[in-house]
Structure 1
Amino acid sequence: MALQDLASTYPAHVAHMQALADRALERGGFDHLVVPSGTLHYQLFDDRDYPYAVNPQFKAWAPLVRNPGSWLVHTPGERPKIIYLQPFDYWHVVPDAPSGYWVEHFDVVVIRTPEEALRHLPADPARCAILGEPLSTVGDYVPNNPAAVINHLEYHRAVKTPYEIAMIRRATAHGVRAHRAAERAFRAGASEFGIHLAYCQAARQDANDLPYGNIVALNEHGAVLHYTERDRMPPRELHSFLIDAGASHDGYACDITRSYAFDRDSEFQGLVDAVDAAEQRICDKVRAGTDYADIHLYAHLEMATILNQARVVDMSPESMVETGVSAKFFPHGIGHYIGLQVHDVGGFLASEDGGRVEPPAGHPYLRLTRTLEPGAVVTIEPGIYFAELLMKELAEGEHAGAVDWDRVDALRPYGGIRIEDEVVCTDGEPVNLTREGFAALD
């Protein structure tokens, strides 16, 4: 989507945010919504700061991700205000003067010190819903994070505006370009660290710009779900590669996973292809009115079918799911909301008033339990892993006899397989942003 198209969809996004805030304030009994962008955190007993991460409640309004010490103020019936910190500073790069398609939709006030914000915030902090972390406190403006306001905003974050979907699409374009570079580096024999550097170069984003730490796993490391060690030297023999890595665009994230066998004609590549085909069938289940937990359970049947057909487990797919055997090979959830955050908020909320919808019994790591609505953007990420701890538990359990342990041992050096796409729920067929992004490169 071109910049002018973002500019054309942004006014409706701001209007949507104002309407949501109006209702949230009414529910919470407040007059103003006040959102600090966040501040720098310093390490204990040191003068080094942690990488700055903007408050998601702030960047939901405007594409500002490098502006610590700034504030958003919304009062129903009034034009929203951005208090924009542009300090006098010769030690660090100072944010540019406010500019871009977002500026005309706000009253923008430039301040030079964090304390100067007090002159532009509402008169009575007690009448404000202040959403942020304690370190953002200025004067009497202490974040109170009222549940009624946050629940309402986070429940409705599940449905993205056209502007937000365009932003995720742009993040995805960065991500797929980098994934292609990572695969080339893998085929060339690079180390995990070298592949990571190739990814960052192609994404044109440093590690601190990425929405989460890259998972770059060669061989058996692919069985560690959140492997982030990144060996500096390549293994003596290459078997497989699993990469779970995203990219950012003005505060929005993408989240993509791909798996490869070094030998394209190997049995393991056949398993990768089977998981990839199943993943696309699962993506097609992202339909309005569908309970996301049902998609998760369907994914377990798909992975169990692959395990049965590959002669790894001699049980029916249904029995594998019912007894929990499938969860030893596929221990995580099928996915989550994605948007301003990789694991976007509201996945368990029962309603805009709060409450929690629990995951199905035996599946505690599912991050989304709601019914899908048009505009929701979710990830779909099935996998099959040969993780040492889980295989040990399975070997010591009552269904150990159904497993061909020679085949498991042959597959352990490959670690595991995960395929992940981002999918938009619509009024009709789902839109796979990830597959569209890769297709655009071909």
Structure 2
Amino acid sequence: MPTALLSQLYPQHLATLQHQAGIALERGGYDHLLIAAGQLHYQFLDDLPYPFQVNPHFKHWLPVTRAPGSWLVITPGQRPRLIYLQPYDYWHVVPEAPAGYWVEHFDIVIVREAREAAGHLPPDSKRCAIIGEASAGIDTHVPNNPEAVLNYLHFQRAWKTEYELAMMRVASHLGARAHRAAEAAFRAGASEYGIQMAYLAAARETENELPYSNIVCLNEHGAVLHYTNLERNPPLQSHSLLIDAGASFHGYAADITRTYAGAQAAEFQQLVDAVDAAQRGFCARVRPGQSYPELHVHAHHVLAGILREHGFIRMSAESAVESGVSSVFFPHGLGHYIGLQVHDIGGFQQSDAGGTLPRPAGHPYLRLTRTIEANQVMTIEPGLYFIDLLLAELRNRPEAGDVNWDKVDAFRRYGGIRIEDDVACTADAPENLTRDAFAALN
């Protein structure tokens, strides 16, 4: 992405965050907002650290994701201050000095030891809202994570600035490029591990730099919703590939899922095409004022209709949804917010003061219950699966007589289908970040 564009978009993004911080501090009764980047965590009985994950509130302000021990200080009416830990260290790579389009907007202090940060933080910690995990604190300043402050900031995270949308478009492009490489590896007969390696090479990101652990499923493994085993040897025949894999850019995530049928799986391809067409229809409904829970329930009715049309069930779509049969084949939610985190915060929040919007009855795994508004970004990821555990339970229910078990059993070899796009709501037609990224590769 051209640095000039980021330079143009960043000041308004920063102004938005400063405005929000001022309101959050006023609600909590604090004078300063302190955000700890976080600290390294070490494995039990070892000196080996886990991969560092920066506090999402920290990377909301600036594109710095590898600076453990650093701090942000935001005081209304003043320039934000970055206290940047750049330790003396010959064992590890030391974080580079801050540079780029954003540095001119900060007062930057370099410290060499984590404890030195205390001398550059507001002295009265009681007047500070300190956001971070407990281990990120130093002796004088320990995270207190005040609820009133977090409630306001988390609720506002749903709306993305133009700067954030630009970041997410780049992440989507990286993910789409890597998905193309993964599909090619699948077509060439690669193992799950081989497909993963092709993906990483095309994304140009390590496993620890990705926003989540990739889900790469051949054949029946697609029935495990979060399958991450990565078999090293390819199966005798690759009937299907379900790959749920993302990418990151400056701390912003893309979350993309595609399902492919093998060369000898024409009937499965028909089912994939039906789910893909339905998914596009759901994406088109990402409009201001649309209730996300209602969209989720609508998806159940459409997917139940596909099950009936393709001969898996004999009951009506309405009966399949009311009886819970549709949830056997589609057991997860339609999607979630995405941005600084893959499952971005605030999906259940009732207002900027807190509260919870419940999930619809019978849908315990939905991750977003708010009403869609412009400048929000969410995933749309319907699926149909053939999960042994859930199917075994269905066999013992009265509705089992309305299931074509011969056909269901024949499709177990494919595992399942999931199609997922990241979609931005606008004042007009939705912007499908994922489909646009794939189209740009053609």
Would you say same fold, with TM above 0.5? yes
Asked if residue 205 in structure 1 is aligned to residue 205 in structure 2, the reply is yes
Asked if residue 137 in structure 1 is aligned to residue 137 in structure 2, the reply is yes
CA contact (8 A) 1:17 1:61 kept: yes
> 2:274 aligns to what?
274
> 2:383 aligns to what?
383
Asked if residue 103 in structure 1 is aligned to residue 111 in structure 2, the reply is no
CA contact (8 A) 2:239 2:264 kept: no
Shift of 1:264: 6.4
Q: Distance in 2 between matches of 1:395 and 1:205?
A: 44
> 2:9 aligns to what?
9
1:28-427 alignment runs, 5 A limit: 28-263=28-263, 266-427=266-427
CA contact (8 A) 1:216 1:241 kept: yes
After TM superposition, the runs of 4+ consecutive aligned structure 1 residues lying more than 3 A away are: none
Amino acid aligned to 1:294: E
CA contact (8 A) 1:263 1:269 kept: no
Q: Distance in 2 between matches of 1:237 and 1:34?
A: 55
Amino acid aligned to 1:263: A
CA contact (8 A) 2:216 2:243 kept: yes
Q: Distance in 1 between matches of 2:7 and 2:223?
A: 43
Aligned residue for 2:61, secondary structure, equals: coil
Shift of 1:193: 0.7
Shift of 1:44: 1.1
Q: In angstroms, what is the RMSD of aligned CA positions?
A: 0.7
Amino acid aligned to 1:354: G
Q: Distance in 2 between matches of 1:264 and 1:60?
A: 47
Shift of 1:34: 0.2
Q: Distance in 1 between matches of 2:401 and 2:218?
A: 30
Shift of 1:3: 2.1
CA contact (8 A) 1:30 1:127 kept: yes
Q: Distance in 2 between matches of 1:163 and 1:438?
A: 21
Shift of 1:2: 2.5
- The unaligned stretches of length 5 or more in structure 1 are none
Amino acid aligned to 1:356: T
Measured against aligned partners, the alpha-carbon deviations of 1:313-351 in whole angstroms (never above 9, x if no partner) come to 011111111111100000000000000000000000000
Q: Distance in 2 between matches of 1:173 and 1:145?
A: 35
Q: Distance in 2 between matches of 1:225 and 1:7?
A: 40
CA contact (8 A) 2:72 2:81 kept: yes
Measured against aligned partners, the alpha-carbon deviations of 1:275-322 in whole angstroms (never above 9, x if no partner) come to 001000000110001111011011111111110000100111111111
Measured against aligned partners, the alpha-carbon deviations of 1:202-260 in whole angstroms (never above 9, x if no partner) come to 00000000000000000000000000011010111110000000000010000000001
Aligned residue for 2:350, secondary structure, equals: strand
CA contact (8 A) 1:218 1:242 kept: yes
Shift of 1:265: 5.9
Q: Distance in 2 between matches of 1:265 and 1:349?
A: 43
Number of paired residues? 442
Amino acid aligned to 2:42: Y
CA contact (8 A) 1:255 1:422 kept: yes
TM-score, normalised by the number of residues in structure 2: 0.99
CA contact (8 A) 1:386 1:408 kept: yes
Aligned residue for 1:118, secondary structure, equals: helix
